[in-house]
Amino acid sequence: MLEIKGLTKHFGGLAAVTEFDMSIYSGEVVGLIGPNGAGKTTMFNLITGFIPPTKGHILFEQVNITGKATHAIAAKGIVRTFQQNAFLPDMTVLQNVLTSCYLHPKSGVWEAIFNTPGYRKKEQKALHHAMEIIEFLGMDSVSDELAQSLPHGYQRLIGIAIALSANPKLLLLDEPLAGMNANEVNETLIFIKKIRSVGTTVLLVEHNMRAVMKICDRVVVINFGKKIAEGLPQKVKRNKDVIEAYLGVSEDAA
Amino acid sequence: MNKATQFIKPVSYPVLILVLFLIPLFTKDAYLLHILIMTGINIILAISLRAIATTGQMSLAHAGFMAIGAYTSALLVKKLGLSFWAALPLGGITAALIALLVGYPFVRVKRVYFAMLTLFLGAVIRLIIMEWRNLTRGSSGLLNIPPPNSLNFFGLYNIVFDSKVPYYYLILVLMLITLLFLYRIDSSRVGRTLLAIQQDDSVAESVGINVTNFKVLAWCLGCFFAGIAGSFYAHFIKTLTPDSFGVLQAIYVVVYMVVGGRRRFYGAILGAFILTLLPEFFRILKEYQPFVFVGILLIITFFLPGGLADLPKLGASMLRRLKGPSVNHA
Amino acid sequence: MSLTLLAQSILNGLAAGWIYILVALGLTLVFGIMNVVQFAHGEIYMLGAYCSYFLIKLYGFSFWEALPLSALLVGLLGIVLERFFFRPFRGRFEPSIIVAVGLMLLLQTIAVVGFGTDTKSMGGIIPGVLKVSGVTLSWDRLIAILVGIILVAALFLLIKKTKTGQAMVAISQDIYAASLQGIDVNRISAFAMVIGCALAAIAGSLMGSIFSTSPFMGTSAITKGIAVIILGGLGSIPGAVVGGFILGLIDGLIPPLLSSTMAGIVGFGVIIIVLILRPRGLFGHE
């Protein structure tokens, strides 16, 4: 589904990502892991068009999306969440999710202004769709609460809800479990499984290794912008280079 | 409490509009009508500035776009003999086109720099008006701008623009059209999208919203109505000088919007209304009027950042606190 | 166009350029490096001019005595402004802009009400002109240029070579990280504001002396200043120099060739083009 070949990104003199190759197949849950600063978020930014690559290309469903604008890539079906501030603080949960029903269904500016029956039907559909997503993630009790007044766990769910309601074919989750307690982590993992079960492919960046082992079909390891391992989670866990990459970091810190 | 407001709300607006239409029947006082007309102009300016501000962009060029509308309309009528009724929309369209011209590079920069750029743009517009003497007669100003052409309805009713009354009705109609149009946008999914862009444009972009296009849309829309207000102004005041369209005037519009409150739609209307009327009570202190404005502005910024439109909410929450916890809390 | 006229135009342009740089210098420090939305910088410049004017006319100081005094007084004003108007809203875009814009209105009105709208003259610095092979440059402008050069160099050294300057750069990049490193953000911000306002006061005094002083001179100053730092890149001192020269040369060469109107349009056009190609300005980073 997603093919990345030779992806490279230089920031000035610094090589953030070098000659990265990766493929993601439809229906998988793939984990992208690596120590802090390894280039994971840069990868997300490159795939979703937030920054253009220096070299290499990205194919999504056989279509070249390298260097395209983020909203165009979202229209093609790749949607991401963000590590921080993944939601619209001064709006209710419902409004948050409704906002990202922008593409589905799409409506023009003029029909919105004149409140045509066609537009009203589309708004109804969007509302229905938004409530579906909210219920899917178990947030219907707080749908009218202001996003910024909700606890952290809910806020991360809102981020996922926003991404989901854009009907992604490929969903990129940027550290969805950060700052969650054990209960919240388990609940979120259930949601990710549900997401996969409706046919959405997931690429996940996470630091919570136990969660990664539990939920991912495959794992790709990145360090210093290069791919250092790839494969089944259990195998990768035992990979020498991977252990070194993580231990190396903690040894320096010691 | 809820049932009462549910009944009052939909009735109050048509009643209000009816009252506004009936005012000239009760008073022919030219001074009062003049103030109300200026209020109408300022409401259009404030609400159109708010349209730009919904995406989080603060424009300090609004007076400049008013000037573009004003001079375009005046010159089309004076030099090309166009009818006012054609010149009015053309004034707005010219303003929107110039906004479009600079729109794309402008909206791509950080918000602070956008504000700086609009400040600069406003100054450049004024400079061009001053220097292009062949066209605009520079600082001497454009004089003797004709009033709007008389309207003839069904061969029976003739409206001639020889007193304040027809101007009043015209600005009332223009204001209502502007308010209706911008309100529709604001409460539709377009408005929701614009608000989302203001809150976090990365999130908006990530779900397929073309943030740049929307920002340009809001920008051009706001500038269009500023141009319309300018066109009307030109044929109402009948004299134009570049000094009426400087940074200070742009700041005034910002003050109207901020004092009234940017969040709620009616905030800008309230701000423009109060701050146009207020100086009339301080006529003696005309020179010191800006001090009053700044004072109000600073009080609002420090103590009531949501503007006057936040007062009902503040009042309600204070009432709730006074009442104490209630068993029937919804 | 004769060679002499061309040379004179270029010289005028370069002289004007230095004056724009002078105006933009304080602005690039406050706006570009300290990220303070100081739209009222033009009004500070204007107050500096009036301060010198009154020191000269009422208290009989000479220009060279009035200049540093005015810089000092206005710098002190800057501390008050920073503490009470800018610090409470630091980091919050909308209130910062509202306050800055309100300050613009406030200070300009104080000037109009207090000093009157007529332009005042405080007399030049040194009378006469310098003539070299057909081109002339007034001594006043030459002095302004020299002061400008000194100030640019001083500011550059301050930023690059002193701890305080480096602290300012750290704050501009990440205010949170800077405070974690032990930098007293409040003190440094106040200091930067003082320097910025002092620079504005010096520029205003020079300009007020060469040309004239009016309550509205601040508006054209901030306009030019904004143009220079957007062109050159925010927070960049070399950018301010280059930007100032480009705009100065446009203002020197276009009016004799075409017209004054075209100078404004061309200047604006150049800025738009640069914005499209390099949204951060010619030397901008960040």
The complex scores an ipTM of: 0.87
User: What's B210's DSSP letter?
Assistant: -
Range of the domain at A99: 84-167
Closest CA to B178 of B83, B53, B101, B265: B265
Q: Which two tokens stand for residue B72?
A: 């375009």
Supply the Cα-derived Rg of chain B in whole angstroms. Answer: 21
Q: How many domains does chain A have?
A: 2
Domain final residue pick, A133, A167, A201: A167
Q: How many whole angstroms separate alpha carbon B267 and alpha carbon B265? A: 5
Q: Pick from A153-157, C10-14, C47-51, C111-115 the range whose average pLDDT is largest.
A: C47-51
> A130 pLDDT exceeds 90?
no
Mark yes or no for CB contact A100/B207 under 8 Å. yes
Cβ of A65 under 8 Å from any chain B Cβ?
Answer: no
Q: Which of A75, A99, A126 sits opposite B196 (nearest CB)?
A: A99
Q: Which chain B residues have a beta carbon less than 8 Å from that of C98?
A: 254, 258, 297, 301
**Per-residue b or e along C106-142, where b marks 16 or more CB atoms closer than 10 Å to that residue's CB:** bbbbbbeeebeeeebebebbeeeeeeeeebebbebbb
> B323 pLDDT exceeds 80?
no
Phi-psi region of C150 (alpha: psi -120 to 50; beta: other; left: phi over 0): alpha
> C234, C31 in Cβ contact below 8 A?
yes
Residues A189, A220, single domain; the answer is yes
In a domain, C185, yes or no: yes
Q: Which of A69, A107, A159 sits opposite B189 (nearest CB)?
A: A107
> A253 pLDDT exceeds 60?
no
> B96 pLDDT exceeds 90?
yes
Q: Contact partners of B by the rule of 3+ C-beta pairs under 8 A?
A: A, C
The mean pLDDT of chain A is 82
Mark yes or no for CB contact B287/C275 under 8 Å. no
Q: How many domains does chain C have?
A: 1
Domain residue limits, chain B:
2-323
Cβ of B214 under 8 Å from any chain C Cβ?
Answer: no
Q: Which two tokens stand for residue A16?
A: 């953030």
Phi-psi region of C134 (alpha: psi -120 to 50; beta: other; left: phi over 0): left
Cβ of B102 under 8 Å from any chain C Cβ?
Answer: yes
Tell me, what's the pLDDT at A252?
A: 44
| Residue A25 φ then ψ, to 5° | -105, 155
Q: How many CB pairs under 8 A join A and B?
A: 89
Q: List, in order, residues 6 or more apart from A78 with CB less than 8 Å away.
A: A2, A47, A48, A60, A65, A168, A169, A170, A172
Q: Which chain B residues have a beta carbon less than 8 Å from that of A81?
A: 206
Mark yes or no for CB contact B208/A123 under 8 Å. no
Residues A17, A69, single domain; the answer is yes
> B327 pLDDT exceeds 60?
no
Range of the domain at C263: 8-277
> A17, A9 in Cβ contact below 8 A?
yes
Cβ of B131 under 8 Å from any chain C Cβ?
Answer: yes
- Mean pLDDT within A159-178: 87
Cβ of A80 under 8 Å from any chain B Cβ?
Answer: yes
Closest CA to B203 of A109, A160, C174, A192: A160
> C113 pLDDT exceeds 50?
yes
Burial of B318 (C-beta count, 10 Å sphere; 0-12/13-18/19+): exposed
- Pick the residue of B101, B247, B258 with the most C CBs within 10 A to test the interface with C by mutation: B247
Tell me, what's the pLDDT at B65?
A: 96
Residue C198 Cα distances to B224, B242, C172, angstroms? 41, 32, 20
Mark yes or no for CB contact B203/A69 under 8 Å. no
Q: How many whole angstroms separate alpha carbon A198 and alpha carbon B105? A: 41
Cβ of C94 under 8 Å from any chain B Cβ?
Answer: yes
- Mean pLDDT within C218-230: 88
Q: Contact partners of C by the rule of 3+ C-beta pairs under 8 A?
A: B
In a domain, C3, yes or no: no
The mean pLDDT of chain C is 85
Residue A229 Cα distances to A21, A171, A226, A233, angstroms? 11, 22, 9, 10
| Residue in the block written with tokens 């408005």 | B191
> B122 pLDDT exceeds 90?
yes
CA trace torsion A159, A160, A163, A167 (10° rounding): -150
> A12 pLDDT exceeds 80?
no
In a domain, C284, yes or no: no
Cβ of C101 under 8 Å from any chain B Cβ?
Answer: yes
Q: List, in order, residues 6 or more apart from C23 with CB less than 8 Å away.
A: C45, C200, C203, C207, C221, C224, C225, C228
Q: Which of C112, C227, C230 sits opposite B113 (nearest CB)?
A: C230
Residues A253, A150, single domain; the answer is no
> C103, C40 in Cβ contact below 8 A?
yes
> C100, C43 in Cβ contact below 8 A?
no
> B38 pLDDT exceeds 50?
yes
- Mean pLDDT within C102-125: 86
Residues A8, A48, single domain; the answer is yes
> C213, C95 in Cβ contact below 8 A?
no
In a domain, C2, yes or no: no
Mark yes or no for CB contact A163/B206 under 8 Å. yes
- DSSP assignments along C139-164, one per residue: HHHHHHHHHHHHHHHHHHHHHHHSHH
CATH of the domain at C82: 1.10.3470
Amino acid code (one letter) for C51: C
Q: What is the CATH number of domain B2-323?
A: 1.10.3470
- Pick the residue of B203, B212, B213 with the most A CBs within 10 A to test the interface with A by mutation: B203
Q: Among all residues of chain B, which has the CA nearest to that of A82? A: B203
Residues A238, A127, single domain; the answer is no
List the beta strands (DSSP E) in chain B. Answer: 151-153, 157-159
Helix (H) or strand (E) holding A154: helix A152-164
Q: Which two tokens stand for residue A29?
A: 């849950």
Q: Among all residues of chain A, which has the CA nearest to that of B186? A: A113
Amino acid code (one letter) for B253: V
| Residue in the block written with tokens 């724009």 | C20
Residues A152, A202, single domain; the answer is no
In a domain, C283, yes or no: no
Cβ of C260 under 8 Å from any chain B Cβ?
Answer: yes
The mean pLDDT of chain B is 86
Q: Among all residues of chain B, which has the CA nearest to that of C255? A: B131
Cβ of A84 under 8 Å from any chain B Cβ?
Answer: no
Q: Which chain C residues have a beta carbon less than 8 Å from that of B249?
A: none
Which tens digit of pLDDT belongs to each residue from B123-144? Answer: 889 988 888 887 878 778 888 8
Which tens digit of pLDDT belongs to each residue from C238-247? Answer: 888 999 999 9
Closest CA to A59 of A78, A41, A42: A78
Tell me, what's the pLDDT at B45?
A: 96
Mark yes or no for CB contact A163/B207 under 8 Å. yes
Mark yes or no for CB contact C97/B112 under 8 Å. yes
Q: How many whole angstroms separate alpha carbon C50 and alpha carbon C55? A: 8
Cβ of C255 under 8 Å from any chain B Cβ?
Answer: no
Residues A250, A219, single domain; the answer is yes
Q: How many whole angstroms separate alpha carbon B210 and alpha carbon A160? A: 20
Helix (H) or strand (E) holding C55: helix C41-57
